[in-house]
A = this chain, B = another copy of it.
Amino acid sequence: MTDLAKHNRMANAIRFLSADAVEKAKSGHPGLPMGIADVATVLFGQFLKYDPTKPDWPDRDRFVLSAGHGSMLLYSVHYLLGSEDFTIDQLKNFRQLGSLTAGHPEYGHGAGVETTTGPLGQGLANAVGMAIAERHLSEEFGPSLVDHHTYAIVGDGCLMEGISQEAISLAGHLKLRKLIVIWDDNGISIDGKVSLSDSTDQIERFEASGWETISIDGHDPAAIAAALSSARESDKPTLIAAKTTIGYGAPNKGGTEKVHGSPLGAEELEAARKALGWDAAPFEVPSDILDSWRIAGLRSGQARKEWEKRLAETDGEARGEFERRMRGDLPAGFKGALDALKKKLAAEQPNVATRKASERILGTINEAVPETIGGSADLTGSNNTKTAQTKSITPDDFSGRYIHWGIREHGMAAGMNGMALHGGVIPYSGTFLVFSDYARPAMRLSALMKQRVIHVMTHDSIGLGEDGPTHQPVEHYAALRAIPNLNFFRPADITETLECWELALESRKTPSVLALTRQNLASVRKTYDAENLCARGAYILDDSADDPAVTIFASGSEVGLAIEAKALLAAEGIQTRVVSVPSFELFEAQSEDYKASIVGDAPVKIAVETGIRMGWDRFIGADGIFVGMTGFGASAPYQALYEHFGITKEAVAAAAKARLHEKVEG
């Protein structure tokens, strides 16, 4: 058998495993795996540094299937390489409940799935984040421990999504030379030919962002290998534009949208078998071909062993630090450093915006936790995310710890996902809270993937003032609290900000948003408490002497206002309790008893927050009083806005009294 014949049969193994699985599931996307099989065979067979016997090897190459609908490509290839997770039974259970072989690749469902993809363009931006993490860690621990490539396969859909431009332009700017992107240029999308909706010269587009580009026939293994070799030598990120036929081998449907997202059908699948000379039964791979694949799977074993040897020979301290970082454990000194600051803050009682509070706390964190990498989407001075420890990362120097993401909130969030997935770093970065909308698809994915990604989102309410309703979050608290497995924190002062930062860093499986104010806030936590009170999600901050007649629930900047309202009520002898609610999510995780005690049974319950009511009925009931927003904000100095929208201590106190009066009268 010639090399070419062997290559073809190895590629056909991918094609038919993929098509067979889609056929059996009666659902899925055969077109991509069949089209890109030649590229995948060369990439995984000859280039990718990956050891199926040790799939979590830190210095493995990262591979991202950004065009996630072609998930069967990933499952087929990993089965062929000898994955312990992607067995033939898993392939037979493609898209079935409880199988690892989900409709789209899901991180955590089997080794080899480096990220969850499907929502288009995300994987490309994840790959950029992975490549950044690699460059940074390589700088820090040296190329003997960290020196690998990041590969991504993207489709036309990925390249049409706006996020791709953010990823491409940042990667080009940073000269991420170890990033290699393969474009499955098949000219077909769901509606038909790509030319129905796009005429972009992708080569020119990537070159405009400083990429190397190589155009090849995606079915020519020699050309593929040459392109990959060349890409690995480039001093820029490389795009390999691989011209392919979608559903390659399907004689009637291949090359058309018919093969994109539906099973081939028995007849066409049989015809494809004939056309490509594949006579193995469904889900069977001739033993010689399986052997060839398994040998390819073992290819990187030696490199892995050599790397382990180098690690073992590494100075104990550096090795320990590297291993700690890759495990994701926080350094020993972290808790102590934060606690010392907490004591200091309790003594100082500063009156400071929580964004400024965050900056100060970050100074302590970044000193104690060397794996944090900060950043901002071009709002560094507003988000206060840069500290003395975080020198900027530049195209020529990755030793820094701060990324100027540019005005690219979506790419930033997806890039941070990639950094967290890579491991060894903890990404945090900033934008305005209202622009969480721009980043939302990527934030959802970090929640789904259970990644420790921290979003510092400042200017968190009408309290930002003059910039007006386009910049004032109103529905965003509810919208972010709605995302499963995302902790949305809205701290009330500097001490709560510290506690929320601590929780965010310790939440290894949950991304966090810290919603922070532009305006100054008085300290509401008057004494030092060793316990992290915010960990409860909601807690009694300022209790009544006797049973409360009124309980006021509030978050963030409105907690201070609640305390002021309590003073007004106290002047009239009304027993009032103030509950601070920094996190709905952590509150829900408490015991039923604790939750019941916080919700309490005060005759009057009021919630105060500069957002919409949605979600607060949990605390105040459907008949509770909500003092907050009912529509969009406005442009004016912030004090005028609080007055205008009736979010004042007087309004809270008056509403409480009126309701109490009703109850007494009633």
Contacts and interface: CB of A to CB of B under 8 A. Distances in A.
Interface of A: 25, 27-28, 68, 95-99, 102-104, 106, 116-121, 156-157, 160-166, 169-170, 172-173, 189-191, 196-205, 207-210, 376, 378-382, 392, 395, 404-411, 434-435, 437-438, 440-441, 444-445, 447-448, 465-471, 474-475, 478-479, 481-485, 599, 612, 614-615, 617-618, 621-622, 630-632, 634-637, 640-641, 644
Contact of A208 (B27, B96, B202): B202
Contacts of A120: 407
Contacts of A621: 617, 621-622
B440 A156 contact: no
Contact of A614 (B173, B381, B395, B481): B481
Name which of A161, A172, A190 has the most chain B CB atoms within 10 A of its CB. A161
B378 A97 contact: no
A618 to B, nearest CB: 6
A119 B438 contact: yes
Given A207-B204, A617-B622, A162 B161 contact: yes
Given A205-B209, A437-B440, A189 B407 contact: yes
Contact of A27 (B172, B466, B485): B466
A373 to B, nearest CB: 15
B469 A448 contact: yes
Given A106-B468, A162-B165, 15 more contacts: A95-B468, A119-B438, A119-B470, A157-B378, A160-B169, A160-B407, A162-B411, A172-B200, A173-B199, A190-B380, A191-B380, A440-B440, A444-B475, A478-B482, A484-B631
Nearest to A27: B466
B119 A435 contact: yes
A239 B161 CA distance: 21
Nearest to A470: B118
A210 B198 CA distance: 10
A637 B96 CA distance: 7
Contacts of A408: 160-162, 197
Nearest to A173: B199
Contacts of A68: 470
A102 B484 contact: no
A448 B28 CA distance: 39
Contacts of A161: 162, 166, 407-409, 438
Contacts of A162: 121, 161-166, 408, 410-411
Nearest to A261: B382
Contacts of A191: 376, 378-381, 404
Nearest to A195: B173
A435 B163 CA distance: 13
Contacts of A119: 434-435, 437-438, 470-471
Given A27-B465, A404-B191, A478 B200 contact: no
Given A120-B407, A189-B406, A102 B468 contact: yes
Contacts of A98: 636
Main secondary structure of the interface of A (DSSP, over half): loop
Contacts of A438: 119, 161, 441
Contacts of A198: 169-170, 173, 406
A481 B475 CA distance: 9
A409 B435 CA distance: 17
A469 B382 CA distance: 35
A118 B68 CA distance: 33
Contacts of A205: 205, 208-209
B382 A190 contact: yes
B197 A208 contact: no
Contacts of A410: 162
A404 B484 contact: no
Contacts of A172: 199-200
A539 to B, nearest CB: 19
9 contacts: A102-B635, A106-B635, A196-B392, A199-B395, A208-B208, A437-B440, A437-B444, A445-B470, A621-B622
B484 A634 contact: no
A636 B96 contact: yes
Contacts of A411: 162
A190 B484 CA distance: 33
Contacts of A210: 199-201
A441 to B, nearest CB: 4
Contacts of A470: 68, 103-104, 106, 116-119, 445, 448
Nearest to A189: B378
Nearest to A631: B484
B615 A614 contact: yes
Contact of A103 (B118, B173, B378, B471): B471
Contact of A95 (B405, B466, B618, B644): B466
A468 B100 CA distance: 12
Contacts of A466: 25, 27-28, 95, 103
A197 B405 contact: yes
Shortest beta-carbon contacts, A-B, top 10: A162-B162, A197-B406, A165-B165, A118-B470, A97-B636, A204-B208, A617-B617, A102-B635, A475-B482, A103-B468
Q: Which residue among A381, A465, A469 has the maximum number of chain B CB atoms within 10 Å of its CB?
A: A469
A99 to B, nearest CB: 8
A631 B440 contact: no
Nearest to A157: B407
Contacts of A479: 475, 478-479, 482-483
A103 B638 CA distance: 12
A613 to B, nearest CB: 9
Nearest to A619: B622
Contact of A164 (B165, B203, B404): B165
Nearest to A392: B196
